[in-house]
A and B are shown apart, each in its own frame.
Chain A
Amino acid sequence: MARPLRSARLRAAALTLPLVFFVGVTFIAPLGSILVRSIHEPQVADALPQTLASLEAWDGTSVPSEDMFRTLATEFRLLDEQRKLGSVATRVNRLESGMRSTMLDTARALGDADPDSWRDAMIAADPVWGEAKAWLAVRRAGERFTLRHYLNAIDLDRDASGNIVAQPPDRRIYLPLLFRTLGVSLVISVICLILGYPVAYLIANASPARSNLLLLLVLVPFWTSLLVRTTSWIVLLQNQGVVNDLLVAIGVIGDEGRIALVYNMVGTLVAMTQILLPFMILPLYAVMRSISPVHLRAASSLGATFRQGFVHVYWPQTLPGVAAGSLLVFILSIGYYITPALVGGRTGQLISNMIAYHMQESLNWGLAAALGVILLLGVMLLYLVYNRLVGIERMRLS
C-alpha cells in the first residue's frame, strides 16, 4: 500500500518540478538578488582596500596618522587615474553630504605632487580632512555588509559615533510615504467595497441572462489594458478634459475655475479605484451566488425588515467574499506603480514609485532594494493571511 502511494506522490511532485525549478530560477533568484543588494555593497571596499585596512586600527575620533593620509591619497590618485574615483565618491557622499566634491577636488589638488606632509597637503586641499567625520564616512562606506539601507528606509541613520538617530526632518520621507501607501490602499479597498458590494449583489441575484450581461460589463475593463484605462482617465480628468468640459458646460464651474483632477492624489485614487474594482466585484459575486435567497426570504417571513435580514442573515454569509475582495484589492494596491506614475503627479506617488526612482534615477540601488524588501515582506504577510482566510486554490480568474 505504501509503495503505490509513494510513487503517486513522486509522480505528482515530478510534474510540478519543472515549474518549481523555473520559478526558482527566473523569479525567486531575482528576488534573492534584491535581498543581497539591500545588505551587500562591496564597491567602496573593493576600491579602497589599503585605506580601509589602515582605518581599522583608528579610534574614530583623533586626527588620523600621516600614514593613513598617505594611504588614502595614494589610493585616491590611483582611482582618479582609472576614472573610478567619481563613483566611489558618490557612494561616500550618500553618507556625508559634500564628500563627493571633497574627494574629487582633493585628488585633483594633489595631482602628481609628492608632498613632505600628506596631512598638510590634504587639509590644504580641503579642511574637512582634519575632521573625524570625513574619515568616518569613508570607513562606513567601506563596510561590505551593512544594514544602513534598512535604517534609511525607515528614516533612521547612524551618527558619527555609530548611534542610531532619526534623519533630519526634511529628509524623513520614507515612513510617511509608506503610511501614505497603506492609507491609499485602505481607502481604495473601502471605496471598492462600497461600490462593489451592491453591484455584486445585483449581479448575483439577477436572472441568468441579465447576470451574464452585467458580468460582462465588469469583465470588459478587467481585460482591457491597464495603460488604456490609465490613458482614458488622463483624457477624462485633465484640465481641458471631458469631465471639466462637462462641468463648465453645465455651469458648475467657470472656464477659469477648472478643477485639478489629475496629476495629483485625486487622479491616483480615481484611476486605481476603477482599475481595481473588478477584483472586488468578482470574489463578492462568487460568494453571493452561492448564498441561497431562501435565507433572506425566511428572515422576512419571520417578520424581519429587509435591513434586519440583511445585517443578521445576508451580510455575515458574504464575509468570506468581503475578506477575499478587500485583501486582494489591498495587496494589489500597495504595490501599484504604473497608474500613480502616470496620473499621480507629485502628490499621488506611492512607495513603488520611490523604489523606481532609486532604481532608475538616483541609482541608490541598496536603498531601492531595502525599500523593496520591506514592501515585499508586507505583501507576503498579507498573502499568507489571504491564503489562510480564502485559500489560494479558490482564486478564480473569471
Chain B
Amino acid sequence: MRQSMASFGFGERMGRGLHLAFCAAVLIFLIAPMLVVIPLSFNAEPYFTFTEGMLSLDPEAYSLRWYRNVIEDGIWQRALGNSILIGVAATAIATTLGVLAALGLANPAMPGRGFVTSLLISPMVTPIIISAAGMFFFYSRLGLGQTHLSLILAHAVLGTPFVVISVTATLVGFDRNLVRAGASLGAGPFLVFRRIQLPLIAPGVISGSLFAFAASFDEVVTVLFLGGLEQRTIPRQMWSGIREQISPEILAVATFLVVFALLLLGAVEWLRGRGRSGAAGGE
C-alpha cells in the first residue's frame, strides 16, 4: 500500500497482514448477504439454501420460475406501478422544493441558516415509526387516509433532506460573483439560475433526486400506516411476503432491487465523477 509502511518492522508487517485480512472479512460481511440472494433466486426448488444440484452446478437445479411468477403476477405489477407513481411524484416535489431551499441556504445572507437547515434535515433523522404514526393521525383527520396523495406527500417530505444536502454540497464552492456578474449584465434571477447556477448544481440535483427516489422506492413504514390495498408498493409487498410466507419470489424481487441499486449507484458515481472533472476543468 503505502511505501512508508515498509520501513516498519516485522511485527508491523504482520499487523498489516492482519489488517488486510480483517478488512476483507468486514467487506465480505457487507457484501456477501446480497451475493447469496442472487444465486438462490434461481433455485429450482422452493428452498432458501443451496441444494446439492446447485452446488454441483447442475443446470437442472437452476430455474427462472420465480422470475416468471413475479413478472406474471398482477400483484407485483400493480406494486411496481404504485412504487413508480409515488416515487416519481414524491421526487418531483422533493426536488423542486429542495433545490429552491438549497439555493437559499447557500446564500451567505440567509438568516437563521443553522436552524432552518436542522429543520429541513429533521425528516431524515426522525425515527420513521414516529413520522409514520404522526402522519397517520394527521392525514386521517384530513380524510386522506388510504390515498396515494398522502403517500406522495409523506415520501416527498422524507426525500427533501437528500436533495437539500446534495445540492448544498455542490454549492459549497460556488462563486457567488458569477451570480452578481450575471445580474449586473441585466439577467433576471430566473435567467441567472438557469444559465449559471443550474448547470453547476445539475449533478447535485440529479443525485439528490435519485437519492429521494431510492428512499421512496425502499420505504415501507409510511406505506404500512397510510396505505391500503390500492397503495401497495414493492417494499410493502415484500414486507408481507417476508412476514407471511417467504417464497423464493421474494428473492427474485430482491435480485431486481439489487440490480436497480447498482444502476442508481452507477448513475450517482458517474455524476460525481462528472461534477469533479467539470470542476477540475474549470480550474
Chain A interface (Cβ < 8 Å from any Cβ of B): 5, 8-9, 11-20, 22-23, 26-34, 37, 195-196, 198-199, 201-202, 205-207, 214, 216-221, 223-236, 238, 240-242, 245, 274, 277-278, 293, 296-297, 300, 305-306, 331-332, 334-338, 342, 352, 355-356, 359-360, 365, 368-369, 372, 375-376, 379, 383-384, 387, 392-393, 395-398
Contact = CB atoms under 8 A, between A and B. Distances in A.
Given A22-B156, A306-B12, A383-B118, A11 B107 contact: yes
Contacts of B146: none
A342 B1 CA distance: 41
B198 interface: no
B264 interface: yes
5 contacts: A8-B109, A12-B105, A31-B131, A240-B48, A337-B127
A12 B130 contact: no
Nearest to B105: A16
A224 B110 contact: no
Given A19-B97, A236-B36, A225 B138 contact: no
Given A335-B127, A359-B225, A392 B257 contact: no
A266 B95 CA distance: 39
B107 A198 contact: no
A244 to B, nearest CB: 9
A215 to B, nearest CB: 9
B148 to A, nearest CB: 14
B254 A228 contact: yes
B130 A376 contact: yes
A218 B26 CA distance: 10
Nearest to A352: B129
A242 B50 CA distance: 7
A338 B218 CA distance: 11
Interface in B76-109: 93, 97-98, 100-101, 103-105, 107, 109
Given A16-B101, A220-B265, 19 more contacts: A12-B104, A12-B107, A16-B110, A18-B101, A19-B120, A23-B157, A29-B138, A199-B23, A199-B26, A223-B261, A224-B261, A228-B37, A231-B37, A231-B242, A242-B36, A300-B4, A336-B127, A379-B127, A397-B208
A231 B48 CA distance: 11
A383 B130 contact: no
B251 A202 contact: no
Contacts of B185: none
Contacts of B105: 12, 16
Contacts of A337: 127-129, 221
B133 A224 contact: no
B31 interface: yes
Contacts of A34: 130, 133-134, 137
B246 interface: yes
Given A12-B109, A15-B107, A23 B119 contact: yes
B278 interface: no
Contacts of A245: 49-50
Interface residues of B, number: 102
Contacts of A393: 117, 168
B190 interface: no
A297 B4 contact: yes
Contacts of A306: 8, 12, 15
Nearest to A217: B27
Nearest to B271: A398
Contacts of B246: 231, 234
Given A16-B104, A30-B138, A398 B261 contact: no
A224 B258 contact: yes
B182 interface: no
B130 A372 contact: yes
B165 A202 contact: no
B118 A198 contact: no
B128 to A, nearest CB: 6
B205 interface: no
Given A220-B261, A352-B129, A205 B1 contact: yes
Contact of A30 (B134, B164, B257, B262): B134
Nearest to A7: B109
Interface string B112-129: 001011111111011111
A26 B119 contact: no
Nearest to A294: B4
Contact of A397 (B27, B110, B125, B162): B162
Choose among B37, B40, B160, B235 the residue with the greatest number of A CB atoms under 10 Å from its CB.
B37
Choose among B33, B47, B214 the residue with the greatest number of A CB atoms under 10 Å from its CB.
B33
Interface in B20-69: 20, 22-23, 26-27, 29-34, 36-37, 40, 47-50
